[in-house]
Each structure stands twice: as structure tokens, then as C-alpha cells.
Chains A and B, each alone.
Chain A
């Protein structure tokens, strides 16, 4: 009964380093999303995917890349981390268009600090 699993849960990077966050879902959902959460700003959409092999930009895509090679996995990459990317990152998935059902299933978050 895992649902949406994010790894790692915590990470500290130095400016300029790269890393990848992994999101895995076991619900066979088509749609997957990466959000970042910052104090006082709610959740902002970084990138999303409407199915295996597809990706699309969200509200704040700069500095991030994503890949969806397998339906169950959605990877978020930071090629050259910057302090402005210090945030809590959430992955979410849903079977139908999010706007239709409104029900996103979220992971527990990955806290990233860039020094």
C-alpha cells in the first residue's frame, strides 16, 4: 500500500552540484506532477507528465529537467543547483486529468537545501 514514494527525503547540496529526485507510484496512474512548496507561496507546478514518455512545463520550470521513461516513475533533475532551489519538493499522481477529479495523490515530500 505504498502509493507515491519519493526518494531521497532529505538532501543537502552545494551550489553547482547536480542531483535527481525520484518519484515512484504503484497505482498505475497516467498523470504525474512535480511541485515545489515554499513558505507563503503555496505549491507551484514545476513540470508534469500526462503519460509515459511525455513531459510538459509547469509554472516554474527553469533550472529543472524531468523524464518519464517508465509509467510508474517520474524523475526531477537539477543540473546545477542554486540556493533559490532550496525548497520542499512534492510529487503527485492521478489517473484522470487533475482538473476533472481534483484528487492528486501526494508523496511525503523531499526537503532539499542548497548551500
Chain B
């Protein structure tokens, strides 16, 4: 069965420092993986996606994620955090040719000045 585990429920960083949000996945097939962002009191927005092409995926707002099959990981990174990055981030897995996405439990990112 497909699943994702977000290893940190909260991450705090200072503005200008790197961001690392960790996600491990479990899949018996080659997965498609995604990161979504949810700003306070808003709906979710797709940040980036991996669908078996390049293993390093670039998304919006300077975020990127690397698919590592050997480690079953899909961690989200950003070189320099901005105050506007404060939000909740969800790692998501799917199985190709189904109608469903499976969401992780989320990581809340706090950015301090």
C-alpha cells in the first residue's frame, strides 16, 4: 500500500537560513510524489511534483525536492527561507492510473526574523 511519512510535525528556521522538510514514502510501485503548501486559512496549492522524470524537481518560490529511491525519500528544500514561506507543507503520494492521492500528516514551518 502507498503511504508517506513526514518526519517532523514542526520545523522552525530563521529567515535567510536553509529549509529542510523530510518525507519518506512507501510504495510497491514506482510512485508519483508531490509537495503541497497551505498558507493559513487557505486551500492547498501544488508546490512541485515528481513523476519519474528528473529526480531533482524544482517548484515554485525557490523550493526543490530530490527523489531518492534507495532511501525512499522525497525531502523538500530551499536554500534561504523567507517570512512568506511560513505555512504547512504536505507530502503526497499516488499510484499511477488511480483517482486518489494520499496525504502525509503535514509539517508546519515557522520562519523567525
Chain A interface (Cβ within 8 Å of chain B)? Answer: 4, 31, 35, 40-45, 48, 50, 56, 58, 90, 92, 97-104, 106-109
**Which residues on B sit within 8 Å (CB–CB) of A97?**
97-99
**Which residues on B sit within 8 Å (CB–CB) of A31?**
99
Q: Taking chain A's interface residues, is the majority helix, strand, or loop, or is none over half, making it mixed?
A: mixed
**Which residues on B sit within 8 Å (CB–CB) of A92?**
43-44
**Which residues on B sit within 8 Å (CB–CB) of A90?**
43-44
**Which residues on A sit within 8 Å (CB–CB) of B46?**
102-104
Whether B105 is near chain A, meaning CB under 8 Å from some CB there, is: yes
- Whether A106 contacts B99 in the complex (CB less than 8 A), given A40-B105, A42-B106, comes out as no
Residue of A nearest to B9 (CB): A40
CB under 8 Å from chain A, chain B span 34-74: 34, 41-46, 49, 51
A43 and B103 form a contact (CB under 8 A):
yes
A42 and B99 form a contact (CB under 8 A):
no
Q: Could you tell me the distance between the alpha carbons of A100 and B97 in the complex, rounded to whole angstroms?
A: 6
Closest 4 CB pairs of A and B: A106-B43, A99-B94, A42-B103, A102-B34
Q: Could you tell me the distance between the alpha carbons of A102 and B98 in the complex, rounded to whole angstroms?
A: 11
Residue of A nearest to B43 (CB): A106
**Which residues on B sit within 8 Å (CB–CB) of A108?**
41-43
**Which residues on B sit within 8 Å (CB–CB) of A103?**
46, 49
Q: Could you tell me the distance between the alpha carbons of A95 and B42 in the complex, rounded to whole angstroms?
A: 21
**Which residues on A sit within 8 Å (CB–CB) of B101?**
45, 98-99, 102, 104
Whether B19 is near chain A, meaning CB under 8 Å from some CB there, is: no
Residue of B nearest to A49 (CB): B99
Q: Could you tell me the distance between the alpha carbons of A92 and B23 in the complex, rounded to whole angstroms?
A: 23
Residue of B nearest to A45 (CB): B100
- Whether A43 contacts B90 in the complex (CB less than 8 A), given A103-B49, A109-B41, comes out as yes
Cβ contacts A to B, 20 pairs, < 8 Å: A42-B90, A42-B103, A44-B103, A45-B100, A45-B101, A48-B99, A48-B100, A56-B99, A90-B44, A97-B98, A98-B99, A99-B99, A99-B100, A99-B101, A100-B51, A102-B92, A103-B49, A104-B101, A107-B43, A108-B43
